[in-house]
Structure formats: C-alpha cells, structure tokens
C-alpha cells in the first residue's frame, strides 16, 4: 500500500453507535479523505457473549447514514489464528509469560500496594515460577493468563493531537494479553490487525493514551513499526458531564428517529473541540478540506443538543423542494407541493414537523376563537378565490377598515382562528393553501 494513509474505525458490535463513537469514525474518515487515504472498518467482536449480528448491521447502517464509506471490512472473530501465531512468537521471544493468580489474589496485591502508598504495578511473580510450580498450580485446576513483559524505559511518541508524549514503562503493569480462558484482550488483536492491514494512523479517544506505550512495545516485539497516534479529548454533554451519564443513550439511531439530519450532525462533530468555527457545511468533502490535527484543542469539547438542533434547522431552512419532495412523500405527505414546502420550511427544526403544518393546511385543524365578533366579520369579508400571496394583505386591510382592529388585536385572533397556533409561517403563504372553504369554517369555530 506504499505510504498511503490508512486509518481504521474499530467498534465493538455490542451496542449501537453513539455520538462519541460517531465523532471518532468521522475524524478518521476526514483525515483519510484529506490525504487521499483509505479507512478500514474493523469489528472488534472477540467478546462472544455480547457481540451481536444485529449490531454489526446497525453500525454499518449508521456509518452509511452519516455519509461515511470504507474500503475494507474485517472481523476479529475471523482472525484468531493470526493472534495465536503472534502470541506464540512473543512466547518464543520471552515476552509473553504465564501467571496463575486469581482475580481475587490480584486485587489483594493491588490493595496492599495502595495501602503502602506504592503504585499498583504487577510484581511479575509469574516470571519467578519454576516448571514444578506451574505444574503444581495447573494440577490445582488453575489456568494461566498471559502477560506481556514490558521493557523498562521511557516510551515516547509524537501524538498528532496531544503533542510529544511519553510513558515510563517501569511505572506500568505488564499488560494481560490473553485471559485464563484463552480469549484475547484488546491489545494483541488490535496490534496484529494494525500490522496486517498496514494501518498508518491510529485516531482514537484519549482514554486509550494509557495503553499506547505498551502497544508500541508490542509492535516492536513483533518486528513492526508502530503507526502514528492521535488521541482526542472525549466528548461531554453541555454541562460537562460524561456522555455515559446522561447522553449515553444518544445513539445515532435515536438522533435519526428524532429527525436529525446527518450533515447537521457531522458539521457539529467535525468542528467540536477545534479552533474552526462551527457552521453548517455543504458536504463532507468541505469538512475534509484543510483538516489538520493542529486545529484540535486539549480542552474537553461539549456536545450540546441545542446547538445540533440549530444546525438542523438551518439545513432544513435551505433545503430545496427537489430534495424535500421524496422525503415528504416518505412521511405520507405526497400531496404537499412546492408552495407548501417553501411556506413552512423556515419554521422547521426537524423534518417530521412538516406533518403538523400539513394538518394546519389540509385539516383537520381545531381553530381557537379569541374574538368571535372579529372572526365573524372577517369571514364575511373573505374574497372569492382564486387566492395568491396578495390575498392576505388585501383581506386584512379590508377587515381593519371595517372593524377598526389593527396590529396584534387584528392579526393574533385571525392566526389563532385559521391555524390554531400562536405563531408559525407567514399567513400570506399559508392562506392560499388553507383555501376559502376551510377558512370560512374555521372562522366559524369549526374544526376543518
């Protein structure tokens, strides 16, 4: 693959994607797109108990809804032989060793170190076991977990988002790569996949920073050069709380059902936490232009659903009839025409709200009669059809002249009677759509 940029998005198919996952996927895609690179979709599905095929399908569907594409798909569950081969190589090199402590014993060791105010680093007791010790432990029914032997020293990398970074390997516990039941934890499969698929850049949340030093050493132990890393601050909600506390359920499926437009979401997620202004982008390629990790701040970005709704509204306000028509038809509004769309789009935050305005236009709509005398006089003065956008102005001028009502005392009762609403689209556009027959009935207080 040469020097081409290759990134990967690696979700676990144990649930639906939420906005935090989507941001990571989007930034990977934008970075690759800006550099003519490619993206791998890798399902980290080694958790056999929790991984589900319906989540695999939902993740692909959500990414496609966002407008993201990928050039290759991989499943870790189909690559277990590659991970076992790598484990054997590490064993042969003396970098993977067997440990027999139970979780309870490890926790007891950790507590004792903390009580002595020492860092809870694994004591490498597994390295001191003789063959006889191991045989005795296995005769007791114990099965080993396997740890990677870290080299002492400072591990350094130039993080694309955080700048020069390092970790002292001596302060870290040797990471467990294989559980006692023989299943692999995250680290080894991830490194093997990144090697095999020639991943050049690992872009992920900063909660993975603590894993990076160990992963770099695993790359090197397997004879590979580690990719570049970029660790991004994690999203919080608008109040600065972790998304898992309040918006953890804000899955892309939920947002889609709520009427969020994908371009509104990507416009927000692409610029959150950067020095770039958040604005509605015309398309994803526009967001990719000039993408640079130097624009990202170390500050925690806040995901504000009100800001998302604002972008969503702006998108709908500019949506052409040709784009809106098939989507209105999908909402059951196939009779709604261009005049209707142009009349109501400026009042929409979510597309589904168009159905409410269609009921205002086509009925049934329950009028609110605030001033019966005015309503009756107005009904008597309604002109004959055909009506157009000049009808409202001419009619209300006539009502004003005949009743003496003006300003809010004129327009507010007429809006309530005709639409049942306190506010909404310009009545010069709505009145011709409502039509004379419905207008007469509503001014008389009838639902029509």
pLDDT recorded at residue 242: 72
Clarify whether residues 52 and 199 are in a common domain. yes
pLDDT recorded at residue 49: 87
Clarify whether residues 171 and 209 are in a common domain. no
Task: Identify whether 123 is part of a domain.
Answer: yes
Task: Identify whether 272 is part of a domain.
Answer: yes
Q: Would you place residue 322 in the very low, low, confident or very high pLDDT band (cuts 50, 70, 90)?
A: very high
Residue 101 is part of a domain; what is its CATH number? 3.90.800.10
In tens, the pLDDT along 284-321 reads: 999 999 899 999 999 999 999 999 999 999 999 999 99
Are the C-beta atoms of 17 and 26 separated by less than 8 Å? no
Q: Number of folded domains in the chain?
A: 5
pLDDT recorded at residue 47: 86
Q: Would you place residue 370 in the very low, low, confident or very high pLDDT band (cuts 50, 70, 90)?
A: very high
Clarify whether residues 66 and 195 are in a common domain. yes
pTM of this prediction?
0.91
pLDDT recorded at residue 3: 61
In tens, the pLDDT along 176-226 reads: 999 999 999 999 999 999 999 999 999 999 999 999 999 999 999 999 999
Where are the alpha helices (H) located in 35-174, listed in sequence order? Answer: 53-66, 80-92, 103-115, 131-139
pLDDT recorded at residue 245: 36
In tens, the pLDDT along 112-133 reads: 999 999 999 999 999 999 999 9
Scan for tokens 């202004």, then name that residue. Answer: 277
In tens, the pLDDT along 15-56 reads: 999 999 999 999 999 999 999 999 999 999 988 889 999 999
DSSP state of 407: T
- SS3 percent helix, strand, coil of the chain, rounded to 5, is 50, 15, 40
Task: Identify whether 183 is part of a domain.
Answer: no
Are the C-beta atoms of 228 and 202 separated by less than 8 Å? yes
Are the C-beta atoms of 42 and 8 separated by less than 8 Å? yes
pLDDT recorded at residue 240: 75
Domain boundary among 362, 384, 417: 362
Clarify whether residues 68 and 113 are in a common domain. no
Clarify whether residues 325 and 393 are in a common domain. no
Kindly give the interhelix angle for 408-419 and 436-443, rounded to the nearest 10 degrees.
110
Residue 264 is part of a domain; what is its CATH number? 1.10.1160.10
**Is 356 exposed, middle or buried (CB count within 10 Å of its CB: 0-12, 13-18, 19+)?**
middle
Distance of CA 435 to the CA centre of its chain: 43
pLDDT recorded at residue 249: 53
Task: Identify whether 367 is part of a domain.
Answer: no
Segment 432-442 shows an average pLDDT of: 97
Domain boundary among 132, 158, 178: 178
Mean pLDDT over all residues of the chain?
95
Q: Compute the distance between CA of residue 65 and CA of residue 253 in angstroms, rounded to an integer.
A: 10
Domain boundary among 178, 198, 222: 178
Residue 284 has, within 13 A of its CA and on its CB side, a CA count of 22
Q: Which of 18, 23, 8, 31 is nearest to 59 (CA)?
A: 18
Q: Is the pLDDT of residue 443 over 80?
A: yes
Least confident of 45-59, 138-152, 244-258, 330-344: 244-258
Q: Compute the distance between CA of residue 337 and CA of residue 316 in angstroms, rounded to an integer.
A: 16
In tens, the pLDDT along 143-152 reads: 999 999 999 9
Clarify whether residues 348 and 382 are in a common domain. no
Give the domain extent around 393.
372-443
pLDDT recorded at residue 250: 74
Q: Is the pLDDT of residue 248 over 50?
A: no
Give Cβ neighbours of residue 241 (< 8 Å, ≥ 6 apart): none
Question: Nearest-5° angle of CA 113, CA 117, CA 119?
Answer: 60
Q: Which of 273, 356, 259, 271 is nearest to 313 (CA)?
A: 259
Q: Would you place residue 2 in the very low, low, confident or very high pLDDT band (cuts 50, 70, 90)?
A: very low
Residue 412 is part of a domain; what is its CATH number? 1.10.10.350
pLDDT recorded at residue 433: 97
């Amino acid at each position: 693959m040469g020097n081409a940029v290759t990134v990967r998005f690696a979700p676990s198919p144990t649930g639906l994607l939420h906005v935090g996952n989507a941001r990571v996927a989007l930034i990977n895609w934008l970075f690759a797109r800006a550099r003519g690179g490619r993206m791998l979709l890798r399902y980290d599905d080694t958790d056999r108990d929790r991984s589900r095929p319906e989540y695999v399908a939902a993740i692909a569907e959500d990414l496609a809804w966002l407008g993201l594409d990928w050039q290759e798909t991989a499943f870790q569950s189909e690559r277990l032989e590659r991970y076992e081969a790598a484990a054997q190589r590490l064993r042969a090199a003396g970098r993977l060793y067997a440990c027999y402590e139970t979780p309870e014993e490890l926790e007891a060791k950790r507590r004792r170190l903390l009580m002595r105010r020492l860092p809870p680093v694994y004591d490498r007791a597994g390295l001191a076991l003789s063959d006889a010790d191991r045989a005795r432990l296995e005769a007791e029914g114990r099965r080993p977990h396997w740890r990677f032997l870290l080299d002492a020293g400072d591990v350094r990398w130039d993080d694309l988002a955080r700048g020069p970074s390092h970790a002292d390997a001596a302060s870290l516990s040797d990471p467990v790569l294989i559980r006692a039941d023989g299943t692999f934890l995250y680290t080894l499969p991830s490194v093997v996949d990144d090697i095999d698929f020639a991943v050049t850049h690992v872009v992920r949340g900063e909660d993975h920073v603590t894993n990076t030093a160990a992963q770099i050493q695993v790359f090197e132990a397997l004879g590979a050069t580690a990719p570049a890393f970029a660790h991004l601050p994690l999203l919080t909600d608008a109040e600065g709380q972790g998304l898992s506390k309040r918006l953890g359920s804000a899955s892309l499926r939920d947002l889609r059902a709520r009427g969020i437009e994908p371009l509104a979401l990507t416009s927000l997620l692409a610029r959150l936490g950067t020095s770039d202004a958040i604005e509605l982008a015309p398309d994803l390629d526009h967001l990719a232009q000039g993408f640079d990790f130097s624009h990202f701040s170390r500050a925690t970005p806040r995901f504000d659903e009100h800001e998302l709704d604002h972008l969503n509204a702006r998108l709908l306000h500019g949506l052409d009839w040709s784009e809106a028509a098939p989507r209105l038809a999908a909402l059951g509004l196939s009779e709604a025409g261009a005049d209707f769309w142009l009349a109501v789009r400026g009042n929409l935050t979510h597309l589904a709200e168009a159905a409410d305005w269609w009921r205002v236009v086509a009925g049934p709509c329950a009028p609110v009669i605030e001033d019966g005398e005015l309503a009756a006089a107005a009904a008597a003065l309604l002109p004959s059809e055909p009506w157009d956008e000049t009808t409202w102005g001419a009619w209300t001028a006539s009502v004003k002249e005949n009743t003496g009502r003006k300003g809010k005392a004129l327009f507010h009762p007429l809006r309530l009677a005709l639409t049942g609403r306190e506010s909404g689209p310009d009545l010069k556009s709505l009145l011709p759509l409502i039509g004379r027959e419905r207008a007469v009935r509503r001014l008389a207080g009838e639902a029509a």
